[in-house]
Amino acid sequence: MSLADILGQMLLSGKVTVSTNNVESIEIRAANKKIDVNAVNKTIVKEALKASRTGGNQGLLKSLDAVRNNLDMLRGVAEELSDAGVTVTLSYKGDLVATLGSEAKPKLSSVVTGTKAIEINNPIKLIELGL
């Protein structure tokens, strides 16, 4: 059983708020196989992305390779979510940025991501977050 299947069975409903230094950073809401991750403070998102990248100043080719590897991983997760009937939405300050999983309805974004399980809803906000 995949992690996406387990999430789909466990998450009925609820809300979690993550704070950093007493500042609300991320809100996570779950209901009926749908999870919304809302970044309220983009600093934590940028720090998490920075931590996920190996090394500092790697050069262009290594940076592009890291982006490709992260996209491969994200594609795999999104396809597992879709197979399990689970949807994860990513928002920034309440504005929908991307949808992963079963409710994703990509148009042109599937050309970039290589899957129908990832929909980029707001490319401008996506760039603003540095994703």
| Range name among 9-18, 77-86, 92-101, 112-121 with the lowest pLDDT average | 9-18
Q: Which domain holds residue 69?
A: 3-129
DSSP characters over 41-77: -HHHHHHHHHHHS-SSS--HHHHHHHHHHHHHHHHHH
- What element of type H or E holds 105? none
Number of domains in the chain: 1
Q: Which one-letter DSSP state was computed for residue 33? A: T
The C-alpha atoms of residue 6 and residue 83 are separated, in whole angstroms, by: 12
- CA dihedral of 68, 51, 86, 14, whole degrees rounded to 10: -170
The C-alpha atoms of residue 100 and residue 119 are separated, in whole angstroms, by: 6
pLDDT of residue 66: 63
Parallel, antiparallel, or unpaired: how do β-strands 34-39 and 87-92 relate? parallel
Q: For residue 123, report the phi and psi dihedrals to the nearest 5 degrees.
A: -60, -30
* pLDDT, tens digit (0-9, with 9 covering 90-100), for 13-65: 788 888 888 888 889 999 888 999 999 888 877 777 666 655 555 565 555 56
Place of tokens 């890291």: 66
